[in-house]
Amino acid sequence: MDGDEGAEGPYEASCIFCRIISGRAPSHTVYEDSEYIAFLDIAPFSRGHTLVCPKRHGETIWDMTETEIAGLFKIATKMARAVVSAVHADGLRFVQNNGEAANQVVEHVHVHVIPVSMEDKGRFMGRKSFSPKEMEETAAEIRSALESIM
């Protein structure tokens, strides 16, 4: 790694997710523990679109241990319940891309938790934009829903 030592351990200075994890970049964080973090996607496919990441930098899922992968999906599953509840979605998509060919944009392992409504069934979902106020309100709703789940 050609990074630095952050509050949570080594990170990659060029990685936006590592900068979020270390507090060097802003985010609408909805969950955080010693190993994982979840925050709203800045270019979401739907209201509540959340990214769940391990704090330890790794570019693809092959850079993780089986235990870390299990932990990532355990947190993603809890986040999915909270997100669906908070935004009153009818369903959700988990998306986990590995490598440029798979459309991985940020080279840090992450799972997309994308809430969907019946109106979105069978449709291509384009990226949306929400105001900072809408993003913070959504984050607060997800954090509240998460409290009742955990």
Q: What angle do CA 73, 129, 44 make, to 5 degrees?
A: 15
Biggest alpha carbon–alpha carbon distance for the chain = 45
Length of the chain: 150
Asked if 83 and 113 count as a contact pair (C-beta separation under 8 A), the reply is yes
Instruction: Return the active site residues.
Output: 110
Asked if 55 and 67 count as a contact pair (C-beta separation under 8 A), the reply is no
The span from the CA of 10 to the CA of 55, in Å, is 9
